[in-house]
Amino acid sequence: MTGRGRPRKAEKTNGAESKTTQEEMKKAVTRSRRKNVTEEKHDDTAKPKEMDQTKANHTPAKPSVPGARRGKTTKHTTEELNKQQRTPSDDTRGPVKGTKAKTCSDRAKSAEEIKGEQQETPKDTTEVSVETTKPRKCPLNSKSTKHFEETMTTQSETPNSITQESFKITDSKAHNGKAKSAEKFREEAMKDQQETPKHTTNPEIDSILYTTLEKLKIRKNDKANASEIINPAKKKIFDHVKQNIEWFKEVESVPTGSYYENLKISDPDEFDIMLAIPLERVNIRSFGEDGAYFSVGLKRGNSPLKKFQENETLSASKMLSEFREEVKKCVKELPGWQMAKMKQGCPAVTLTGPRVNADSEPISLDVVLCLKVKSSWPEFTHDGFQIQRWLGTKVMQEYKRKPYYFVAKHEGDGEDEHDGIKAKDVWRISFSHIEKDIMRNHGSEKTCCEREGKRCCRKDCLKLLKHLLSLLKEKKPRLFSKFCSYHAKTTLLHACCLRVRDSDWEAESLSRCFIQLLQDFLGYLEKGVLPNFFIKRQNLLAGIEQKNYKKLACCIKEELEKGFPIFM
C-alpha cells in the first residue's frame, strides 16, 4: 500500500478471513452481473465459463511496455506478439506451462555452514558479465559496460563489482544504519544519484525482454476463468474444514504464492492458500542446524490442539493427516477436482481442478496447513531481513511486529531425529505474507509504480528470471529439478537490499537491471550460497549438487552471451 488510499493496517484481524470468503461469494455475483453488462455491450452471448478466450486474442493488443512503445522495433514486436497471441498452439508459451518451478525441496535443506565473510554478497562475477555481454547479439558496448561498472562502483552496492574496499564501505554503511535513520540513507542516496548517470539501456535486449514479458502476461479471460474456478473451491474447502474439524474453528485463510503476488507468469494455473490456526502462546525450539525448522509446543492452557501434543511438541504429521482426511471428503463433493498423491514431506494438500483454457495445465491448488504465531520473530531471523536501507527502519519494525507462520513441512522421510523429535513432526517457518506485502510495496518511494509515481522494473526482472529458470529447467529437467522460483525471488529480494533506490530499477533500464540480477544470481551459484532472505544462515542452495549449480551458471552465462536466444 502506498501513501494514497486507505491507511495500511498494522495487523489483520481474526475476522478478516471469514469476511474474505464471504466477499468471494458476493464478488462472484457482482462479477456475473458485471459480466452480463459487458456481454450485452459486446453482444457476446457466451456463458462466462465458455467465454471465448480467443476474443481477447483477436484484438490487437498494444504492448503496454514503455520500451516496446518507444522503440523503433515497436511495430515489429507488436505484430509478432499478436501473431503469438492468436495462435493457440503457441509453442513459446507452451514450455512455461508444464514447468512447476515451485517444488522446492532444497528450501528445506540446512546450510552446512556459511563462513563468516560477506555472505549475502555473491562473489565477483564482473568478469563474466562484462565479457559475456559484449558480443554483438548482446550489445552492451564497452563504453556502456564501463559506465555500468563505474555506476555500480560508485554505488558500492552491487554484489559483483564489489572490491574489498568498496565492500567495506558498504558494510560500514550498513552497520551505521542502526544509528543512522533511513532518511539519512535516502539523503545520501539522493546525493549519489545526482552524481550517477541514470541508465544504461540496451535497445536490442530491451526489445527481446519486453516481448517476452508480453508473452508472460496472464490473459484477462484466463484470469476471469481461473477465479471462477478457484474461488468457489477455496470457499468450499475453507467452510468445510472450519465446520468439520474441531481445532479449525478459528482458522484463517491466507492467500499466498505468485498468483496473489501478481508475479504469476503465463497461465493462472497454480494457487496457494495457507489455512492458519492462530496460536496464542507457544514454545519453539529450533530443529537441526539451518534455522528454518522448529518444533512447536503449546504453553499451558486449554486448546483443542492438546491432543496433538507429544513431548511438548505439536505433531505436524498427525495434524496434517487429520487435515488431509477432511479435505479429501470435501473434494469428493467438488466436481472436477481431485486430490493429488501425497508427496513426501510436502506441507501442502494439492488439489487439481479444471483447466483455465484448452492449452493450459489443470489448475493446482495447494492447501497448506499452518500455525500463526503472534509473538516476536525467532532469534535466527535477527540477522536476516535487512530492509532498512531499502524500505526503511519503520517499515521493517512494522513487519517484525506482524505474526509469522509455521507450515507443516519437513525434509527427508521424516524419520531423522534431533533431541527425541522426529523431522516429520517439525514445522518450517514461513514469511510468505511478508514477501507478498513487500512485493506489493516494493518501492523505496511510496509512489513507486503508482499512477503519480515512477514505474520500476523490479517485478518485471523477477518474472524474467523466473521464466528463464523454468525454461532452463525444462531443457534439463534432471539437472535443474531442484531449482525453483523461490531462488529467483530470494535473489531479487537481496538485490533490492543492495540497490535500494527506485532509480536503480527504472522501468527504462530493464535490460541493465535484468542483466545485473542475473549476475547476482550467477554470483550465488558460483559460491554455492544463497542465504534465505529472512534467515541468513539457511543456505537455499545446500542440498543441490555442486555440479548442478555450476552447470546452471554455465547455461545462464551462455544466454547472456548470446542475447537470450532461449526467450526467442
Report the residue from 223, 318, 324, 551 that binds DNA according to the rule CB under 7 A.
223
Report the residue from 90, 171, 450, 474 that binds DNA according to the rule CB under 7 A.
450
Q: Which is nearer to DNA, 16 or 342 (CB)?
A: 16
Which segment (72-80, 211-219, 488-496, 521-529) binds DNA by CB under 7 A?
211-219
Cα atoms in the 13 Å half-sphere on the side-chain side of 388: 19
With beta carbons less than 8 A apart as the criterion, state whether 338 and 345 touch. no
Report the residue from 37, 46, 169, 568 that binds DNA according to the rule CB under 7 A.
37
Work out whether 219 is an interface residue with DNA (CB under 7 A).
yes
Work out whether 22 is an interface residue with DNA (CB under 7 A).
yes
Distance CA 39, CA 46 (A): 8
Strand bridging mode 362-373 / 270-279: parallel
Report the residue from 352, 364, 441, 481 that binds DNA according to the rule CB under 7 A.
441
Work out whether 449 is an interface residue with DNA (CB under 7 A).
yes
Which segment (16-24, 87-95, 467-475, 541-549) binds DNA by CB under 7 A?
16-24
Work out whether 513 is an interface residue with DNA (CB under 7 A).
no
CA distances from 216 to 352, 439, 466, 535 (A): 22, 18, 10, 31
Helix then strand count (H, E) for the chain reads 20, 13
Report the residue from 54, 244, 262, 311 that binds DNA according to the rule CB under 7 A.
262
Element (H, E) at 548: helix 546-562
**Contact code string over 159-188 relative to DNA, x by CB under 7 A:** ------------------------------
Angle at the Cα of 475 from the Cα atoms of 413 and 79, rounded to 5 degrees: 130
Work out whether 31 is an interface residue with DNA (CB under 7 A).
yes
CB of 351 to DNA, least distance (A): 16
Cell of 374: 503472534
CB of 256 to DNA, least distance (A): 8
Q: Which is nearer to DNA, 3 or 94 (CB)?
A: 3
**Site residue total, DNA (CB under 7 A):** 54
Fill in the DSSP letter of residue 426.
-
HEC profile of 171-183 = HHHHHHCCCCCHH
Q: Which is nearer to DNA, 38 or 181 (CB)?
A: 38
Rounded to a whole number, what is the largest CA-CA distance in the chain?
69
Work out whether 306 is an interface residue with DNA (CB under 7 A).
no
Cell of 359: 492449452
Cell of 417: 531425529
Distance CA 256, CA 279 (A): 20
Q: Which is nearer to DNA, 305 or 448 (CB)?
A: 448
With beta carbons less than 8 A apart as the criterion, state whether 164 and 121 touch. no
CB of 41 to DNA, least distance (A): 7
HEC profile of 27-70 = HHHHHHHHHHHHHHHHCCCCCCCCCCHHHHHHCCCCCCCHHHHH
Work out whether 18 is an interface residue with DNA (CB under 7 A).
yes
CB of 75 to DNA, least distance (A): 14
Q: Which is nearer to DNA, 22 or 375 (CB)?
A: 22
Q: Which is nearer to DNA, 35 or 562 (CB)?
A: 35
Work out whether 440 is an interface residue with DNA (CB under 7 A).
yes
Distance CA 300, CA 316 (A): 19
Work out whether 23 is an interface residue with DNA (CB under 7 A).
yes
Evaluate the CA torsion angle 514, 515, 516, 520 in order and state its sign.
positive
Which segment (22-30, 95-103, 357-365, 378-386) binds DNA by CB under 7 A?
22-30
Work out whether 9 is an interface residue with DNA (CB under 7 A).
yes
Work out whether 243 is an interface residue with DNA (CB under 7 A).
no
Work out whether 285 is an interface residue with DNA (CB under 7 A).
no
Work out whether 487 is an interface residue with DNA (CB under 7 A).
no
Element (H, E) at 226: helix 220-244
CB of 459 to DNA, least distance (A): 5
Report the residue from 109, 199, 217, 467 that binds DNA according to the rule CB under 7 A.
217
Element (H, E) at 349: strand 348-355
Under 8 Å CB-to-CB from 479, ≥6 apart: which residues? 548, 551, 552
Torsion (CA) 311, 317, 321, 327 in degrees, nearest 10: 120
Which segment (3-11, 141-149, 348-356, 408-416) binds DNA by CB under 7 A?
3-11
CB of 35 to DNA, least distance (A): 5
Binding residues for DNA, rule: CB under 7 A, are 1-2, 4-9, 12-13, 15-16, 18-20, 22-24, 26-27, 31, 34-35, 37-38, 41, 55-56, 59, 61-62, 64, 66, 69, 217-221, 223-224, 226-228, 230-231, 255, 260, 262, 440-441, 449-450, 459
